[in-house]
Structure 1
Amino acid sequence: MRELRAVALSEDGGYLVLADAGGRTDGEQFRVPVDDRLRAALRGMRRSEVRTESALTPREIQARLRAGETAAEVARAAGIPVERVERYEGPVLAERARVVQEARAALLPKDPGGVPGRPLGEVVDARLIVAQDNPAAAQWDAWRRVDGIWLVQLTSDSRCARWTWDPVVRRVRPHDDAARALVA
């Protein structure tokens, strides 16, 4: 790699003018734009302190968080510090919690005898108690799929079960055998 030396700053201050450090006298010069990265390097700042461009838009960051990725995973994919992703995380986590509440409140389909359905959360909590599994210790979360349907998950000491939740038609359905067993 060729070594260069600083010769001057352009008249408008927008470029640093460089020349060959080896003493070549052919007059060839180079210019480097004076931007935030160069200023930071000249001040001795670490690379991580310089604002880097994200490979993802804010909308894409939110969509990935909504789909269940962690802030660290999204930051890695975007090539930015995790703190920049965390700015978007709060509202998305609140949305996911709201979706869990909606799905838990959704009425299950009527049983074959025609008895009206009960709320998912009520049925699941009752089944967990019967199974001697503490409903208060169970963790609920939700992730949005590409098709707009949400996947709602219950994780307890003894099981993991998933349901799909379609907020447009307000319908909750078992997604796996564990979910079917809890609402059967």
Structure 2
Amino acid sequence: MRELKVVGIEPGGNAIVCADVNTGAKFRILADDRLRAAANGDVSRLGQVEIAMEAKLRPREIQDRIRAGASVQEIVEASGIHKSRVETFAHPVLLERARIATLAQSAYPLREDGPAQHPLSTVVAIAFGSRGRKLDDASWDAWRNSEGRWVVQLRWTAGRTENKALWRFNAGADGGTAAPLNDLARELVAADAPRSRPSLSPVTPIATAKQQSAKQQAPQHPAAQHQAAQAKAPAATTASAEQGSRSQQERATTGQPRPAAEHDAEPKRDRKPSKPAMPSWEDVLLGVRAGAQ
């Protein structure tokens, strides 16, 4: 806690001027009833003043101010009530505001052409990413405006500039909607998340096969046909020469050309000798064959 000392009083006695004993920085403090009671040492009067101030700001009023967007510190400074007492009544309302801020992130932002295809958190995250920022660096908040409608805020700092984007949140079974309330909110939801492109299979192998088939079926130019015939001629001549040389070798060996059937047929295995014919009864009785007489 910083230590201050009184250095002066404003004309009329409505405020006093204090200074930091270490840095010399000056502060202005309003002279209310509590300060006057504390300066006079009137402890009983100081307690009566605090009770009177708390009576002016009842618990319901504290919660209404918190629900409308006020912070605990703002109420403490405005009312003079002790911070712990304000926090006691503000806690359930702060939880309600946090829950609404979370629900609003699942709402669909409204644009000029209708609702976006993606929830608010996704659209804003993409917008932040395109600017080289992260959504984790920003904070969400929500409160009720004077009309009783929920307002959602996204706050972040860029350099020394504090930015606030505001939407009006309408809850719904499908997530609800979020309508932009200022230019920053409109810029963040102007472009929706990119749609995924359908996957495409490569067509190069199919096209290459069709081109090769077309080349084979297409009629060749006369010049190309002539070149192809000349390319085939040496091969046919070589085969004919080899066949003629083989025929001359066979003639030189046997003196006459060898039949193609004998040349190509595989060598047959040696046949077994046939059994001798059985002699007839005449050969056995007469000793000679009947045909020899």
With 114-123 and 101-110 compared, the bigger mean Cα shift is at 114-123
Partner of 2:102: 101
Shift of 1:129: 1.0
Give the whole-Å Cα distance in 2 for the aligned partners of 1:116 and 1:86. Answer: 38
Shift of 1:107: 1.6
With 152-161 and 91-100 compared, the bigger mean Cα shift is at 152-161
Calculate the TM-score normalised by the size of structure 2.
0.43
Q: 2:184 aligns with which of 166, 178, 183?
A: 178
Q: Identity, % of aligned pairs?
A: 38
Name the aligned partner's letter for residue 160 of structure 1.
Answer: K
Task: Determine if contact 2:167/2:185 at 8 Å carries over to the other structure.
Answer: yes
SS of equivalent to 2:69: coil
Give the whole-Å Cα distance in 2 for the aligned partners of 1:142 and 1:123. Answer: 18
Partner of 2:46: 47
Structure having the higher helix fraction is 2
User: How do residues 18-167 of structure 1 correspond to structure 2 at under 5 angstroms?
Assistant: 47=46, 52-53=51-52, 54=54, 55-109=56-110, 112=113, 117-158=117-158, 159-167=163-171
Partner of 1:9: none
Name the aligned partner's letter for residue 126 of structure 2.
Answer: A
SS of equivalent to 2:109: coil
Name the aligned partner's letter for residue 69 of structure 2.
Answer: G
SS of equivalent to 1:105: coil
Structure 1 runs of 4+ aligned residues shifted over 6 Å read: none
Give the whole-Å Cα distance in 2 for the aligned partners of 1:57 and 1:115. Answer: 42
Name the aligned partner's letter for residue 171 of structure 1.
Answer: T
Structure number with greater Rg is: 2
Change (3 A) 1:48 1:119: farther
Cα displacement string for residues 145-167 of structure 1 (whole angstroms, at most 9, x for unaligned residues): 12111221111233321111133
Aligned residues: 141
Change (3 A) 1:46 1:125: farther
Cα displacement string for residues 61-94 of structure 1 (whole angstroms, at most 9, x for unaligned residues): 1010111212132234444222211102221111
Give the whole-Å Cα distance in 2 for the aligned partners of 1:49 and 1:121. Answer: 50
Name the aligned partner's letter for residue 185 of structure 2.
Answer: A
Name the aligned partner's letter for residue 84 of structure 1.
Answer: R
Give the whole-Å Cα distance in 2 for the aligned partners of 1:123 and 1:157. Answer: 19
SS of equivalent to 2:142: strand
Cα displacement string for residues 128-183 of structure 1 (whole angstroms, at most 9, x for unaligned residues): 01111111111111121121112211112333211111337933100100000000
Shift of 1:46: 9.0
SS of equivalent to 2:62: helix
Task: Determine if contact 1:133/1:157 at 8 Å carries over to the other structure.
Answer: no
Q: Which has the higher contact order (CA 8 A, sep 6+)?
A: 1
Change (3 A) 1:115 1:150: closer
Calculate the TM-score normalised by the size of structure 1.
0.65
SS of equivalent to 1:140: strand
Give the whole-Å Cα distance in 2 for the aligned partners of 1:156 and 1:79. Answer: 30
- Unaligned 5+ residue runs, structure 2? 1-42, 191-293
Give the whole-Å Cα distance in 2 for the aligned partners of 1:60 and 1:69. Answer: 11
